[in-house]
Amino acid sequence: MSLAVGFDSVTVRRGNAEVLQRMSVSIPRHCVCAVLGRSGAGKTTFIKTLLGLLPVASGRIITEHGALNEPGVLAAHRRETAAVFQDHALIDRLTAIENVQLGLAHLRSPWDPTPWPFDYRMAAAAALREVDMLPFAHQRVAKLSGGQRQRVGIARAFVREPKLLVADEPFSSLDPILTRTLCRLIRDNVARLGATAILVLHQIDLALEMSDWVVGLSEGQVLFCGPTSEFLTSSLHSIFPALPPPATLAIAV
Separation between Cα atoms, residue 69 and residue 66, nearest integer Å: 9
| DSSP annotation string for 71-136 | HHHHHHHHHTEEEE-TT----TTSBHHHHHHGGGGGGS-TT--SPPPHHHHHHHHHHHHHTT-GGG
List CB contacts of 144: < 8 A, sequence separation 6 or more: 96, 136, 152
Nearest-CA neighbor of 25 among 192, 171, 196?
Answer: 196
Q: What is the model's pLDDT at position 241?
A: 80
Are the C-beta atoms of residues 94 and 140 closer than 8 Å to each other?
Answer: yes
Residue 9 carries which side chain, given as an amino acid letter?
S
List CB contacts of 235: < 8 A, sequence separation 6 or more: 216, 223, 224
Q: What is the model's pLDDT at position 110?
A: 75
List CB contacts of 5: < 8 A, sequence separation 6 or more: 25, 26, 27, 50, 61, 62, 63, 164, 196, 198
Separation between Cα atoms, residue 202 and residue 37, nearest integer Å: 8
Average pLDDT by consecutive 10-residue portion of the chain (253 residues)?
88 91 94 93 94 93 90 90 88 95 87 87 96 96 93 94 93 85 90 93 88 94 93 81 54 38
The CATH number of the domain covering residues in 1-80+162-253: 3.40.50.300
Q: What is the model's pLDDT at position 114?
A: 84
Separation between Cα atoms, residue 214 and residue 234, nearest integer Å: 14
Separation between Cα atoms, residue 250 and residue 42, nearest integer Å: 26
Q: What is the model's pLDDT at position 249?
A: 44
Give Dmax over CA atoms of the chain in angstroms: 63
The side-by-side arrangement of strands in the sheet containing 58-63 is 17-28, 3-14, 58-63, 66-67
Q: What is the model's pLDDT at position 64?
A: 86
Q: What is the model's pLDDT at position 235?
A: 81
Nearest-CA neighbor of 171 among 143, 134, 204?
Answer: 204
Q: Where exactly are the structural domains of the chain?
A: 1-80+162-253, 91-161
